[in-house]
């Protein structure tokens, strides 16, 4: 009597597995691992990627007394770690926009904490620090000795950054924003958090 000439799903794989000895099975498993290792990269997905902040970022900054968060967005250009761009903070009473200059994106060095010493991968390669100056616009009237300037320092990855800003504004006599004198002394600082959008 002839058996029906059909196979169920996976029958060919089961037949192959039945013919394999434990040593052959081990060889097949090791071959699969090697192929995956050559093509798959690291578990973090950061193989051969570097810290780069180019693109559009959105997030929040705290106001002077930390009682609220203010929405802001940045569009950054990163050319070999030299960063420039523009920033918008339409809800902020002190400054609603500005130009970003003198920026530096510094990638975390190879071999820092978090790198696996047993691999050649730099798992920390997408991490680093961004420092950049925010020149508020529109500029103040007159020519104060020390024009408004906000300095930003953020740490994180190519996807998420957080840190602080510190600066001074010459935007009238609002205590939230500094003073309009020629040499304002009030420093303001807060927390800033950004994510690539």
pLDDT value for 92? 83
pTM of the predicted structure, to 2 decimals: 0.66
> Structure tokens of 104?
């530096």
- Tell me, yes or no, whether 60 and 34 share the same domain: no
d(CA 166, CA 141): 22
> Structure tokens of 14?
């089961």
pLDDT value for 160? 94
User: Distances from the Cα of 170 to the Cαs of 35, 39, 119, 149, 192, in angstroms?
Assistant: 61, 55, 52, 9, 21
- Tell me, yes or no, whether 59 and 35 share the same domain: no
- Tell me, yes or no, whether 172 and 80 share the same domain: yes
Q: Can you state the percent helix, strand and coil of the chain, rounding each to 5?
A: 15, 40, 45
Asked if pLDDT for residue 69 goes beyond 80, the answer is: yes
- Tell me, yes or no, whether 21 and 73 share the same domain: no
- CATH number (domain holding residue 142): 2.40.128
Measured in degrees and rounded to the nearest 5, phi and psi for residue 19 equal: -85, -15
Measured in degrees and rounded to the nearest 5, phi and psi for residue 143 equal: -130, 80
Count structural domains, the chain.
Answer: 2
Determine, yes or no, domain membership for 47.
no
d(CA 166, CA 124): 27
- Tell me, yes or no, whether 26 and 83 share the same domain: no
Within 8 A by CB and 6+ apart from 30, the residues are none
Determine, yes or no, domain membership for 191.
yes
User: Per residue in 101-152, pLDDT tens?
Assistant: 999 999 987 655 554 555 555 555 678 999 999 988 765 555 556 677 889 9
- Written as one string, the DSSP assignment of 53-100 is --EEEEEEEE-TTSS-EEEEEEEEEEETTEEEEEEE-TT-SS-SEEEE
- Written as one string, the DSSP assignment of 15-32 is HHHHH--HHHHHHHHHHH
pLDDT value for 186? 57
Within 8 A by CB and 6+ apart from 185, the residues are 168, 179
pLDDT value for 125? 66
pLDDT value for 47? 43
pLDDT value for 82? 96
- Tell me, yes or no, whether 83 and 179 share the same domain: yes
- The parent domain of residue 30 ranges over 11-40
Q: How many CB atoms lie within 10 A of CB 175?
A: 10
104, 132 in Cβ contact below 8 A?
yes
User: Per residue in 164-180, pLDDT tens?
Assistant: 998 877 655 555 665 55
User: Per residue in 70-84, pLDDT tens?
Assistant: 999 999 999 999 999
Instruction: Calculate the average pLDDT of the chain.
Output: 74
pLDDT value for 41? 37
């Amino acid at each position: 009597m002839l058996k029906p000439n059909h196979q169920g799903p996976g029958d060919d794989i089961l037949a192959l597995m039945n013919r394999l000895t434990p040593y052959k099975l081990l060889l097949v498993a090791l071959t699969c691992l090697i192929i995956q290792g050559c093509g798959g990269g690291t578990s973090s997905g950061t193989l051969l990627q570097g810290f780069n902040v180019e693109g559009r970022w959105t997030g929040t900054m705290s106001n002077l007394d930390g009682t609220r968060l203010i929405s802001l967005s940045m569009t950054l250009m990163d050319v070999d770690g030299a960063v420039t761009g523009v920033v918008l903070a339409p809800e902020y009473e002190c400054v609603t926009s500005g130009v970003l200059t003198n920026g530096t994106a510094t990638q975390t060095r190879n071999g820092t904490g978090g790198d696996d010493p047993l691999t050649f991968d730099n798992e920390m390669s997408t991490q680093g620090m961004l420092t950049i100056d925010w020149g508020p616009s529109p500029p103040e009237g007159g020519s104060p000795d020390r024009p408004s300037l906000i300095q930003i320092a953020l740490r994180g990855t190519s996807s998420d950054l957080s840190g602080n800003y510190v600066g001074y504004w010459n935007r009238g006599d609002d205590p939230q924003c500094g003073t309009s004198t020629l040499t304002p002394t009030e420093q303001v600082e807060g927390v800033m958090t950004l994510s690539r959008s």
